[in-house]
Amino acid sequence: MNEEWFGIVALSKEGDSDLDKRIPRKAYYVLKQFWQQIEKGRVSSLTEKQKKIR
């Protein structure tokens, strides 16, 4: 399965070549920001939130 199936990138023809250019969509940048926050420890895990509810 390719990224374009998930709506993460769009494909654009590049001139006369058979290669398609991948253009990031908004979803790409949202996911990028999300994973950067996880790496920095700013997003707590779901299990931690569940413990607080109990």
Give the pLDDT confidence of 13-46 residue by residue, as tens digits: 887 888 888 889 998 999 899 888 888 887 666 5
Pick the residue with more confidence: 51 or 13? 13
pLDDT of residue 50: 53
pLDDT of residue 26: 92
DSSP H helices in 1-54: 26-39, 46-53
pLDDT of residue 54: 52
pLDDT of residue 1: 54
The amino acid at residue 26 is K
Q: Where are the domains of the chain?
A: 3-53
For residue 11, what are the contacts with CB-CB under 8 A and spacing of at least 6?
4, 20, 21, 22, 23
The model carries a pTM of 0.58
